[in-house]
Amino acid sequence: MKKVLFVCTGNYYRSRLAHLLFNHYAEEVDLDWKATSRGIQAAGLQGLSSHAHDYLDSKGLGHLCEDPRNPASLSVDDFPDVDLTIILNRAEHSPLLEKRYRWVIDALEKEAKLRWWNIYDLPPRISVKDMMFGGGPPNFGQPPDSATEHCDFAVQALVAELKRKEIAAD
């Protein structure tokens, strides 16, 4: 069985949603792939984002997030057994990955085992002070309904692509 690794910042929302959706859709079409997910900075979060949970519930897939594991941190040991790594947002994640895993990213790109998506995180919470005087975190966000749908569409397209390749190889 081949493996795909979804990576985002905290492994709490986007990568976990992609991971759960991928495994669901792959099973539906009998695709011989399995997903997992990690976060570059997965620290201190528990469970699964309520936005991911609500989205899965709205699609009738709430069972996918029963007893969710806690976010898991990315390590160099996650890469060797993976056939494809998908980084959920290039602008947001590239600087973090270059600091810690530049040689791994280079190797994955050379082997065509890395893809960059552009799925943005939720808008950051901005304090009243920042709203009045400017500042605060960079705006890498998009509304929850847009982010979850974007993730879902991207995962469905990936599963369809991998299934076509699997059929062509047989």
- What span, in angstroms and rounded, lies between the C-alpha atoms of 162 and 160? 6
On the question of pLDDT at 156 being above 90, the answer is yes
List residues bridging with 37 in a β-sheet.
Answer: 6
Concatenated DSSP letters of 32-46: SEEEEEEETT--S--
Look up the CATH superfamily of 2-169: Response regulator (3.40.50.2300)
List residues bridging with 35 in a β-sheet.
Answer: 4
Q: How many CB atoms are closer than 10 A to CB 98?
A: 11
User: pTM of the prediction?
Assistant: 0.86
By the 8 A CB rule, do 5 and 35 touch?
yes
pLDDT in tens, 9-30: 899 999 999 999 999 999 999 9
On the question of pLDDT at 129 being above 60, the answer is no
pLDDT in tens, 47-93: 898 889 999 999 999 998 887 789 999 999 999 989 999 999 998 88
- What span, in angstroms and rounded, lies between the C-alpha atoms of 83 and 34? 10
List residues bridging with 73 in a β-sheet.
Answer: 39
Specify the residue for token string 């969710």: 68
